[in-house]
Every structure is written in structure tokens, then in C-alpha cells.
Amino acid sequence: MRTVSGALRGAFADDHLLFAGIPYAAPPVGPLRWRPPQPPASWQGVRDASKAGPRCVQNTRNDPDGGRSVSEDCLTLNVWTPLKRAGTPRPVMVWIHGGAFTNGSGDMFDARWLVKRGDIIVVTINYRLGALGFLADPSLAANGNPGNYGFEDQQFALHWVHDNIASFGGDPQQVTIAGESAGAMSVCDHLVAPGSAGLFRAAVLESGPCQAQGDLAGAQKASLDYAASKGCGDRATAADCLRALPVARLDDPPSYYRLGTTGLTGPITGTAQLPTDPMTAFAQGKWAHVPVLIGTNRDEWTLFAAQQYLGERRLPDYAQQLSEVFGGQSAKVAQQYPLSGYANSALAFSAAMTDEVFACPANTIEMAVTHSAPVFAYEFNDRDAPAPEPLEKVPFPVGAGHAMEVRYLFDVGGGKPLNTAQQKLSDQMIDYWSAFVTSGTPHADGAPDWPALRGTGGPWMSLQTPEPHTFTSFDDEHKCGFWATVPAPH
């Protein structure tokens, strides 16, 4: 296989080809640390592309990825293709991984099921994370507009796909961007970013809290504090000081946005890359106007509640937690989500946070963009979805928690195997997703029909066993009318 930088030799399997660890940009090291991505160097001969490259630098002390190595030299991607060439170029899905913009990697997502069953090409990418991806210290950019290096990496990868995917049998005019959690937030940003225009024709957003965007002023303040904490507070020498730091000193990220009980690093609005935050841009109709597949999970926040329980080994004090997050609005929230209505405080808090952070912002996006493009909305609702083994030890069900739908699309391992009904749902979801990537509509043969959203009455697709079905009560079930009256607490 030949790219613009040189020839590749990938890995063959029974049902797919994988070209892994392909550099799409130069290593962002030394003088390129905290610089926009640059083209990769060409190579002579045939490059081994049978193994993924290192993950981008991240905190590995609570490692979800088996202790695999990290490096600043991490701007690589992986191309999954069907085994046989098609008569015509295949559609392409570019997957942007989640992880709060602080952890994760593209190779965590084994795309063989989508490639084999869906007959599409899947590209998974790495991008700079945490401080190395999004530090907004003003000393780092000559144009006075620092930060968003990780987001620019994503755009650079999309350009690589446009320029090279035909060599792998893909169609550069049929590219769909997709992501989950922080990956879906990234998709929101690409939908409104000037530099992403024309690089894709459709978008998939899975559980993306797209309202959780840091602004430039807040990011710069947090970044100045971060630089000072690293001994680089002198403005005259800050850039050189930061670039000279050992990479191990930079694996802890700054925080730009408080989301419930945790902080987020990530794309920064009010910048050249993202002049307007996506929620505002959607409301104004200033976005890419492409088909959108968007949804959330029925029990999003239970994942975070379970992680909190495993760390503290106790259930939270409900009133205290509501007060910490919602302040003076906490009594109103408690009225809508009374503790007496739930088995314990973790589930009560999770219900409120699921609706406020995930479900209702997604509903707001859906209502805004359905006026100018086809929108297909879903709720993943398999409340028996297999959870990672550590989460089975908490005293409440994780249910259809955050990220639980990913196992139905990608072979990510962990947890109990899917049962027969869940495997059927997985096949149906793969058919829906690959149909959307192929045609811009999730109309899959043999699966229940998934109509486009028509407005406040839906319909939404409930992805559940024993059979997916449409419903019209999403905004009522998640109390979105109530949340529209509560000022954002973050």
C-alpha cells in the first residue's frame, strides 16, 4: 500500500486488513512541542504497519489500556479495510476516541466488526491529549492564540484521510466523522470549525456533552496556573521553560471546565480554530449542515458514580452532592429527583446528571440542527449491557451507562460476553451505523425502520433488546423542560 509519504505493509487477518501506526504528522517533539501539526517525513522502502504506535502522553496511574507505552511521538492512525477490494471506492468512517481529552487512543477500538459486516473502511486516530494537546499558555503561540493543538491534530488526520484513503480503497468524498464522549464533543467542534469545512459529509455523535467547552479566558488562566506549578511562571522564559520540561512532568492535565464532579481539558472556544462554541453555532444555524446520527445512553452518569464509589467505597451524601454541583438550584433539582424515588443516592444523583449533562443538551442539539439537515436520534437502552469487571463490584446497576454502547460496535474487550439477544442488537447497530456511513441514513435491511427526527415529537430510536423501536417521549422522560429553566451550574 502506498501513501504520499511512502509504502506500507499491513497485517492480514481472516476477515480484514489492518494498516496500523501510520504517521499522519511529524512527531510533535522538541521545537514542535505545542506547535500546530506538521507533515510527516517521507520514508524509503516499505514501512511496517502491522502494529499500532504509542499512545499519546497521558496519566497511566489508573490505566484503562493495560499499561501500554506512551510517547510524545504519537500522531499516528490505523486503517481497517475489508479483505477484498470492492469494484467502487468504499465509504469511510473516521473514529475520534473519547477520554475527556486526557486519555485513550485510537487502537483501543478494534473495528473488525464494522469492516466485515458493514463493508466500510474505518480509520481510528491518536491526537495530543491533556497539557500537550490543549495548554493555552499565551507564551506558546506567536499569534497569541494558543491551545487546541490536539484539535488541530484531528483536522490534520482528516486531511491525511482526504489525501490518502483512495489508496486503501476508500472514497475521500464519502467520509463520516464519528466519536463517543470527548470524541463526540470533537465531532460537534468539527461541525462548526472553519478549518474542518469540506472534510466530511456526515457525522455521528455518541454521548457527547457538547456544551462542556472551555473558553479562552478560562483556559488561559488555568494554563498560567499550570505553568507556574511546573516552575515556568516567569513570562519572559515560560515558553522555553515549558518546552524543556521532561515529558513525565506533563502527564497531569489542566482543567478548563467542571462537569459535575470532574474536570475536563479539551477544545477551547473563542479561538481561531473554534471562534464560536458549538451550542451557540447550532442555535444560529452556523454549522456544516450534513446528516447527523446522534444519541445518548439511558443511564449515562452511572459510570461516573460507579467510579466514584470504587474510589471512596461509600455512597454519596445526596444533598451534599447536589449542593456542590447545583448550588442554589439544588432544592429544585431534589424536588424533581427525590431520593425516595431511587434505590440509593448514587442512582438519584446519576438520574439528575444523566439528564442535565447528556440527554437534554443532546436534545437541544437535535432540535436546533433538524431544521437544516436530516437528523437520526437514538437512546441506547440495554440496561443489562455488560460492564467492565471492576464496575460489577458496586452496589447498584450501571445499566446503560456512559460508553456501554461502544462494545456493541467495536471489539473493545472487557466484561462478560454479549448474550444472544445483545449480539443481535450489536449486529443491528452495526448495520445502522454502516448504513449511515454509506448513505447518510440508517436504513438497514432486516432491522426496524429508523425515521428521521421531525421535531419535538421525535421519533427517537430506542436501541434495546429484544428489538429496537421508536418512541416519542425522550424529552419528557429526561425532564428537558425542567432543565431549560435551570442555569448551567458549571
Residues 284 and 388 in one domain: no
C-alpha cell at 472: 416519542
Residues 356 and 284 in one domain: no
CA 2 to each of CA 22, 43, 173, 364: distance values in angstroms, whole numbers, following the listed order: 11, 11, 19, 44
pLDDT, tens digit, 9 for 90 and up, residues 257-300? 988 877 889 899 999 999 999 999 999 999 999 999 999 999 99
**Considering 255, 271, 290, which residue would you say is the last residue of a domain?**
290
C-alpha cell at 130: 491533556
Residues 169 and 205 in one domain: yes
- Judge contact between 204 and 436, C-beta under 8 A: yes
What's the number of domains the chain is made of? Answer: 2
- Which of 16, 97, 190, 402 is flagged as catalytic? 402
Q: Which residues contact 84 (CB under 8 A, 6 or more apart)?
A: none
Whichever domain contains 321, its CATH number is 3.40.50.1820
Residues 275 and 310 in one domain: no
- From first to last of the 490 residues of the chain, give the pLDDT tens digit: 899 999 999 999 988 999 999 999 999 999 999 999 999 999 999 999 999 999 999 988 766 555 678 999 999 999 999 988 888 999 999 999 999 999 999 999 999 999 999 999 999 999 999 999 999 999 998 656 789 999 999 999 999 999 999 999 999 999 999 999 999 999 999 999 999 999 999 999 999 999 999 999 999 999 999 999 999 999 999 999 999 999 999 999 999 998 887 788 989 999 999 999 999 999 999 999 999 999 999 999 999 999 999 999 999 999 999 999 999 999 999 999 999 999 999 999 999 999 999 999 999 999 999 999 999 999 999 999 999 988 989 999 999 999 999 999 999 977 799 999 999 999 999 999 999 999 999 999 999 999 999 999 999 999 999 999 999 999 999 999 999 999 876 5
**Considering 273, 290, 307, which residue would you say is the last residue of a domain?**
290
Residue 190 catalytic? no
Question: What is the residue type of 86?
Answer: A
Residues 473 and 402 in one domain: yes
pLDDT, tens digit, 9 for 90 and up, residues 94-143? 999 999 999 999 999 999 999 999 999 999 999 999 999 999 999 998 65
E strand intervals along 262-332: 262-264, 268-269, 292-297
Rounded (to 5) percent helix, strand, coil in the chain: 35, 20, 45
| Phi, then psi, of 129 in degrees rounded to 5 | -120, 165
Query: What is the rounded distance in angstroms from the CA atom of residue 111 to the CA atom of residue 119?
Result: 11
Tell me the DSSP string of 366-382: HHHHTTTS-EEEEEE--
- Judge contact between 177 and 187, C-beta under 8 A: yes
- Judge contact between 183 and 208, C-beta under 8 A: yes
Question: What is the residue type of 311?
Answer: G
Boundaries of domain holding 137: 1-290
pLDDT value of position 67: 65
Query: What is the rounded distance in angstroms from the CA atom of residue 183 to the CA atom of residue 186?
Result: 5
- Which of 105, 139, 181, 350 is flagged as catalytic? 181
- Which of 300, 356, 366, 379 is flagged as catalytic? 300
Whole-prediction pTM value? 0.97
Residue 186 catalytic? no
Residue 402 catalytic? yes
